[in-house]
Structure 1
Amino acid sequence: MESHSSSSAPDERTLLLRDDQAPDEASAAPGAKTASAERRIQLRTQLGVILFAVAIYLYEYMTIAPETSIREDIICEAYYKKLDHGVSAMTTGSTERDCMVPAVQRELSLVNQVYVTLHQLPGFLALPYGIAADRIGRKKVLLMSIIGILLCEGFRHFVSKYCQQPQLHYPSSSHAYIIHPDWQAGGIPLRAIWLAPLFKVFGGGDAVTATMLLSALTDVYSEEERLVVPQRNHHLHTG
C-alpha cells in the first residue's frame, strides 16, 4: 500500500497537464474566436437594421409638415385662381389668401386621408413576398421593396413639383424673364399622388422591408436571443 501511494504521488517528472485535459483546453481558443466572430456579426447586423430604421422613419416624419404645407398651397392657389377666373394670386401680386377656408381644408383632408389609406394596402402582400423570400432569397426581396419605396416617393414628389410647374413670361421691355408658377395649366392634378402607392406593389412596401430586416436579425441570433432582440428593434420601429 505504501509503495502504491508513493508511486502515485506527484514528483518532478509528473506532467502538469494530463492528456485528458489537453484536448479540451486546446479547443477552447478556437471556440472563443468563433464566439467573438459571431458576436461581431450580430452587432453589425443589429447596427445596420437600427440605422436603416432611423433613416427611414426620420425621413417620413420630417417630410410630413413640409409636404402638407405644399399641398395646402397648391389647393389654395387653385381654389382662389378659380374664383378669380383664372388669374393667379402670384401674377397679380396679391398675397392675402386665407387657406383655412372649408373648401381648401376639405380637399386637403381628402387628399391626405385617401393617400394614407392607399399607402397601407401594399402591406397585404407581405405573405406572398415572405414565401418568395424563402425561394429566391431575402436580399432580393428586400432590394425589391426598397426600390418600390423609392419609386413611390419619387412619383409623389414629382406630382407635387409638377403641379406647381412654373411658366416663363418675357416682359416686352427686357430680355430677362420672370417666373410665375402656374398651378393648373400644363400640370397634373394633385390627386395623382394617389397612384404613388401602386409602385409599392413591387416589393410589398414598408411591411415587407420591416419583415426582411427582422428576419435578418433572427438569422444571426440564437433561439434564446431571438425572443429579446427583435422585440427591442420592434420598439425602435414603433417608438
Structure 2
Amino acid sequence: MAAPPSPTDEVSREDEITESTEQTPFIPQAPDARGPHANGLGARGKASPIAWLARVVPKAQKPGTIVFILCVVIFIGSASSGFQNMPMTRIFEDILCRQYYDRIHSHEGPIDEDMCKVDAIQSKLAYLFAITSSLNAGVSVLAALPWGIAADKIGRRPVFAMGLIGMSLSLLWIMIVGWFHQTLSPRLIWLSPIFYLLGGGNPVLAATITSMATDVVPESQRSVSFMRIHGASMVGNLISPALASILMASTGPWPPIFISFLLTVLPAFAIFLIPESLKHVPQDDDDDRPGSNKFKTSLMQSLGELKKSAGVFGSPSMILILLITMLQLSLVLSTYQFLSQFTSKRYHIPIAETGYIQSTYGIAFITVSFVIMPWVTSAILKPGTPAFLRFDDDKQRDLFLARASYIASLTGTFILGLSGSLYGFLFGLVILAFGVSSEGFLKSIATLYVSPEQRSRLFTILGLSAIASDLWVSPALAALFSLGMKLGGTWIGLPYFGISGLCVLMFIMGLFIKLPSYARVDEESDSGERSDSE
C-alpha cells in the first residue's frame, strides 16, 4: 500500500498545476514582482497607514465567516441604491422645476411637487437620468477589462476598495451639482461616470465579490453561498426604498442621499476584515519583465481570451441566448429609478411615497424566487404531476420555464402600461416578478453548451453584454415616456408597452432555442466522472 503524500509533495504538485480549471480567473494572472511575502497594499518597508491597518486588523479565516462579511457588504451596498434613487429624482425634479418657472435663484424651499409634474419637466428629468445611466454603462464596460486584470494581478481587496471609492466620488459629484444648483447646470451630472474609471463601477465590484467567494468556498458549497449573497442583495433592495420613503416624508430628500453616500463608503472598510483571497501562481524567471510590459502582456492575453471566449457563441441557440440577455435589462431598469418617476407622474403621488411601491415589488420578487419557483421546479419533475406539466429532466424543464417567464413578463408589463389605477399597477408588478426569474433558467441552459472551464468566460460575456445594452435601453425608455406624455391618456404607459413588445420578441427567440444533444452532454459528463475517478 502506497504511503500517503507528505505536505511538501502536495505543495509541489499544486505548484505544477498549470491547466485551466473552473477556478482559473477569466483574466490571466500576471507575475507578482514583489515576491511571495509582499503585502497587497504596499511594500513592507514603506507601509502607509492604510497598509498598516490592513496588517494589524484581525482577518476572518473561515470561509463561512468571509461569506457572511461579503453578505453584509452586499446588503449595505444594495441598501445604498435604495436610499439614493428616490431622493436624487426629487432633488433634480425640483431643480428643473425651478428652471421651468424661472425661480432657479430663489432661496425659498422646494417648489410644490404638484407643479413639477408638467410634461416638459418630466421629459427633461427622464432624459437627464437616462443619459447618465447610459454613460455609466459605457464607462463601466470600458473599465471592466483593465480593472479585471488588476484584480488578478494586485489582488481582490484593493480593486474592491478602489471601486467603492470611485462610486462614492461619482455620487459625491452628483450631490455637489444638486447642492449648488444655482451656479451648476444639472447636466453636469453627466460627468459623474468619469469616476467609474477608478475601480470600474458595479460590474467589477460584482465580479470581485464573486471571485472572493469562489476563491475561499469549496465547490460543493458555492451554490449555497451564492444564494446567500443574492438573498442579501434582495433584502437590501427590499427594505431600503420603504425606509427612504419614511425618511423623506419627514426630512426631505437630502438626509436620505447623505445616508446613501455613507452606505457606499462604509463597505470599503471590509478590506480590513477579509484576507486577500488571490493566490499568485509562481511564474517562470523569463517572465520577469518591467511593470508596463507585464500589464501590456496581460492586456493582450486578456483580449485574446475574450476573442477565444466568443467561440462559445458559435451555435444559433447561444446567439439567441446572448440577444435575450441584452433585452432582459429593460425589465430590470423599469423597476428602479424610472418606476419612481413614472408612478409619481401618472398616479399623482409624491416621489417620497413611491418607495412603498418598490418594496411591494421586492416582496413579490423574493417570494417568487425563494418560495414559489423552487417549489414549482421540484414539483414538475415528480411522477405524480399531470403529464402535460411533467418533465423527465431538468433541462427541458428550464427551457419550458424560461419561455413561460417571457409570457409572464409580457403580461405584467402590459398591465403596467394599461392600468389606470395604482392597485392595478401593483398587480402588474406581482405578475412581472414571475417573469424576471427567467434569467436564472436562461443561464442554466447556456451552461449546457460549454465545458466547466468556459463557464466563467460565458458569464463574463453575458454580464458585459447586459450592461452594454443600457447604452440604448435607458434613452429608449425616456423617449417612449416623453412620447407617451405628448399622446396623453393611456399612452402614458408607452414605455411599458414597448417593453411588452420586447417580451414578445424574447418569447419568439426562446421558441427557437434548442437544447444540445443529450448524448453529447451525457458523454462529457461521463468523461468528467471517469477522469475524476482516475
TM bucket normalised to smaller: 0.5 to 0.7
Task: Name the structure 2 match of 1:114.
Answer: 131
The answer to whether residue 120 in structure 2 is matched with residue 99 in structure 1 is no
Q: Write the distance in 1 (CA, Å) between the matches of 2:135 and 2:230.
A: 23
Deviations 1:135-192 (A, max 9, x none): 11111211211111111111111111110xxxxxxxxxxxxxxxxxxx3xxx110010
User: Whose helix fraction is larger, Structure 1's or Structure 2's?
Assistant: 2
> In terms of mean alpha carbon deviation, does 141-150 or 95-104 score higher?
95-104
Q: Kindly tell me: are residues 229 and 97 of structure 1, through their superposed partners in 2, closer, same or farther at Cα, counting changes over 3 Å?
A: closer
Q: Write the distance in 2 (CA, Å) between the matches of 1:159 and 1:58.
A: 23
Letter in 2 for 1:155: W
Q: Kindly tell me: are residues 122 and 233 of structure 1, through their superposed partners in 2, closer, same or farther at Cα, counting changes over 3 Å?
A: farther
Task: Name the structure 2 match of 1:218.
Answer: 214
Task: Name the structure 2 match of 1:149.
Answer: 167
Q: Write the distance in 2 (CA, Å) between the matches of 1:226 and 1:87.
A: 56
Task: Give the deviation of 1:228 after TM superposition.
Answer: 3.9
Q: Write the distance in 2 (CA, Å) between the matches of 1:126 and 1:77.
A: 38
Determine if contact 1:77/1:89 at 8 Å carries over to the other structure: no
Alignment of 1:1-239 (within 5 A): 41-81=62-102, 88=106, 90=108, 98-124=115-141, 125-163=143-181, 183=182, 187-234=183-230, 236-237=232-233
Task: Give the deviation of 1:237 after TM superposition.
Answer: 3.4
Letter in 2 for 1:152: S
Task: Name the structure 2 match of 1:22.
Answer: none
Task: Give the deviation of 1:128 after TM superposition.
Answer: 2.5
Q: Under a length normalisation based on structure 1, what TM-score does the superposition of the two structures give?
A: 0.65
Deviations 1:98-143 (A, max 9, x none): 2111211111111111112222223313232222211111112112
Q: Under a length normalisation based on structure 2, what TM-score does the superposition of the two structures give?
A: 0.30
Q: Write the distance in 1 (CA, Å) between the matches of 2:107 and 2:163.
A: 42
Unaligned ranges ≥5, structure 2: 1-59, 235-365, 367-534
Q: Write the distance in 2 (CA, Å) between the matches of 1:96 and 1:216.
A: 45
Q: Kindly tell me: are residues 135 and 100 of structure 1, through their superposed partners in 2, closer, same or farther at Cα, counting changes over 3 Å?
A: same
Q: Write the distance in 2 (CA, Å) between the matches of 1:217 and 1:108.
A: 39
Unaligned ranges ≥5, structure 1: 1-38, 164-182
Letter in 2 for 1:119: N
Q: Kindly tell me: are residues 40 and 139 of structure 1, through their superposed partners in 2, closer, same or farther at Cα, counting changes over 3 Å?
A: closer
Q: Kindly tell me: are residues 231 and 188 of structure 1, through their superposed partners in 2, closer, same or farther at Cα, counting changes over 3 Å?
A: same
Q: Write the distance in 1 (CA, Å) between the matches of 2:61 and 2:83.
A: 32
Task: Name the structure 1 match of 2:465.
Answer: none
Q: Write the distance in 2 (CA, Å) between the matches of 1:87 and 1:40.
A: 56
3-state secondary structure, aligned to 2:116: coil
Q: Kindly tell me: are residues 130 and 76 of structure 1, through their superposed partners in 2, closer, same or farther at Cα, counting changes over 3 Å?
A: same
Q: Write the distance in 1 (CA, Å) between the matches of 2:74 and 2:112.
A: 41
Task: Name the structure 2 match of 1:32.
Answer: none
Determine if contact 1:80/1:89 at 8 Å carries over to the other structure: no
Determine if contact 1:129/1:208 at 8 Å carries over to the other structure: yes
Q: Write the distance in 2 (CA, Å) between the matches of 1:55 and 1:151.
A: 17
Q: Kindly tell me: are residues 129 and 231 of structure 1, through their superposed partners in 2, closer, same or farther at Cα, counting changes over 3 Å?
A: farther
Task: Name the structure 1 match of 2:377.
Answer: none
Determine if contact 1:148/1:203 at 8 Å carries over to the other structure: yes
Task: Give the deviation of 1:233 after TM superposition.
Answer: 1.9
Determine if contact 1:89/1:95 at 8 Å carries over to the other structure: no
Determine if contact 1:142/1:212 at 8 Å carries over to the other structure: yes
Task: Give the deviation of 1:223 after TM superposition.
Answer: 2.3
3-state secondary structure, aligned to 2:62: helix
Letter in 1 for 2:184: I
Q: Write the distance in 2 (CA, Å) between the matches of 1:145 and 1:87.
A: 36
Determine if contact 1:145/1:208 at 8 Å carries over to the other structure: yes
Q: Write the distance in 2 (CA, Å) between the matches of 1:97 and 1:222.
A: 55
Q: Write the distance in 2 (CA, Å) between the matches of 1:89 and 1:104.
A: 20
The number of equivalent residue pairs is: 174
Q: Kindly tell me: are residues 71 and 53 of structure 1, through their superposed partners in 2, closer, same or farther at Cα, counting changes over 3 Å?
A: same
Letter in 1 for 2:160: L
Task: Give the deviation of 1:97 after TM superposition.
Answer: 7.0
Letter in 2 for 1:221: V
Task: Give the deviation of 1:236 after TM superposition.
Answer: 4.1
3-state secondary structure, aligned to 2:101: helix
Indicate the RMSD between aligned Cα atoms, in angstroms. 2.6
